[in-house]
Amino acid sequence: MTRQGDAHLHQSSDPLRASIIEAADELYYAHGFRAVGMDALRQRSGVSLKRLYTVFPSKEAIVLAVLDYRHQIWVDEIATAMALQDSPRARLLAIYDYLAGWFQSDSFRGCVFINAFGELATESPAVAAKAAAHKRDFRRYMEQLAVEAGFSEELGDQLMLLAEGAQTTAAITGDSSMACKARRAAEALLGAEESMRLQSLT
Same domain membership, residue 38 and residue 12: yes
Of 16, 40, 67, which residue is a domain's last?
67
Residue 127 lies in a domain: yes
Residues 166-188: tens digit of each pLDDT: 999 999 999 999 999 999 999 99
Asked if the structure places residue 103 within a domain, the reply is: yes
Q: What is the pTM of this model?
A: 0.90
The tally of domains found in the chain comes to 2
CATH number at residue 26: 1.10.10.60
Residues 91 and 58 reside in one and the same domain? no
Of the candidates 37, 67, 97, which is a domain's last residue? Answer: 67
- Residue 169: partners with Cβ closer than 8 Å, 6 or more residues away: 175, 178
Indicate if 179 and 95 belong to the same structural domain.
yes
**Burial group, residue 178, by CB count within 10 angstroms (0-12, 13-18, 19+):** buried
Domain range enclosing 120? 84-202
Task: Give the helix/strand (H/E) hosting 162.
Answer: helix 153-173
The model's pLDDT over 105-154, given as tens digits with 9 standing for 90+, comes to 999 999 999 999 999 999 999 999 999 999 999 999 999 999 999 999 99
